[in-house]
Amino acid sequence: MRIGKVSRRTFLIGGGLTFISYVFFEVKSIAVKKYVVPVRNLPSSFNGFTILHLTDLHSKEYGSNQKRLINLINRYEFDMVAITGDLVDKDNPNINPAISLIKGMQKKPAFFVPGNHDWWTDYKIKEPLLSEGVQILENTSQKYTKGDKHIWIIGVDDPYLGKDNLDLALEGTDDSSPRLLLAHAPNIYPLAIQSKIDLVLAGHTHGGQVRIPIIGAIVVPGQGLFPKLDYGLFSSNSTTMVINGGLGESILPVRFYNRPEIVLITLEAVSE
């Protein structure tokens, strides 16, 4: 009996330590997720155009001056950077991790839309980002030109806080060129489908932080239990959306079956 009790205790302790080690690994390691997205009317000069999508850093640090994260990012080739909010955290409003990241990356055109935590920290990240050459899109658009062709980079203010105005952001983007929408929260998706946006990049959900295999996220802010728009690739009609699981955590520094990630999205012309 004594041997049995010790064996069970050892099993439980060992299992607990294994689980804790796994959760710690999930929080600290960084995944690289790649998508290829077909886009109609994509100019040939943009075929193969690759976007580095970053989101939800939440002031998290990956080594001194973000060295570990920067070294990972700079291994890859990309043409543009899209940052979809929550670079800082309301409980840790330190802007230095975000600015260190921006300074250390390859110098590519970078676009940013704010998230709820950016606003909850009085949007102090805005001016430092502008100083680093990051273009901030708040219900507006920017023409991205290569040669004599272009795509539209559109950004809305945070949909989670109800600050988004997609109609305003889309003004002047009514030619046949592809439209890429940056939004912090994915609940912009139904409006994006109605507006025939080609590609939406979003964050906010952290992939739920804790995910159950096959089922997905348990809970996401603004969507409740077992949300539909939690993580990954979604497609409806001509609109594709990528929800990035993000680099940081909110409330609790816990992840399960859901590593922090950077995302690389390559645009691919659709053969007519």
| Residue 206 belongs to some domain of the structure | yes
| Residue 5 belongs to some domain of the structure | no
- Which range marks the domain in which residue 244 is found? 31-269
Decide if pLDDT at 164 tops 70.
yes
| Residue 7 belongs to some domain of the structure | no
**Which of 100, 56, 43, 52 lies closest to 75, judged by CA?**
52
Q: How many domains would you assign to the chain?
A: 1
Pairwise pLDDT comparison (17 vs 88), residue with the higher score: 88
> What is the separation of C-alpha 212 from the centre of its chain, rounded to a whole number of angstroms?
20
Contact 206, 186 (CB under 8 A): no
Pairwise pLDDT comparison (220 vs 27), residue with the higher score: 220
Average pLDDT over residues 154-160: 98
Pairwise pLDDT comparison (272 vs 211), residue with the higher score: 211
| Residue 150 belongs to some domain of the structure | yes
* Cα radius of gyration (the chain): 20
pLDDT digits (tens, 9 = 90+) for 199-212: 999 999 999 999 99
| Residue 25 belongs to some domain of the structure | no
Please report which confidence band the pLDDT of residue 252 belongs to, taking 50, 70 and 90 as the band edges.
confident
Note the pLDDT of residue 7. Answer: 54
**Which of 233, 158, 238, 234 lies closest to 197, judged by CA?**
238
Q: Do β-strands 211-212 and 199-202 pair in parallel, antiparallel, or remain unpaired? A: unpaired
Decide if pLDDT at 20 tops 80.
no
| Residue 204 belongs to some domain of the structure | yes
| Residue 17 belongs to some domain of the structure | no
Please report which confidence band the pLDDT of residue 26 belongs to, taking 50, 70 and 90 as the band edges.
low
Q: E strands within the chain?
A: 31-39, 50-54, 80-83, 110-112, 135-136, 140-146, 149-155, 179-182, 199-202, 211-212, 216-217, 219-220, 224-225, 232-236, 239-243, 261-269
pLDDT digits (tens, 9 = 90+) for 52-90: 999 999 999 999 999 999 999 999 999 999 999 999 999
pLDDT digits (tens, 9 = 90+) for 111-147: 999 999 999 999 999 999 999 999 999 999 999 999 9
- Domain with residue 41: its CATH number is 3.60.21.10
| Residue 16 belongs to some domain of the structure | no
Contact 262, 32 (CB under 8 A): yes
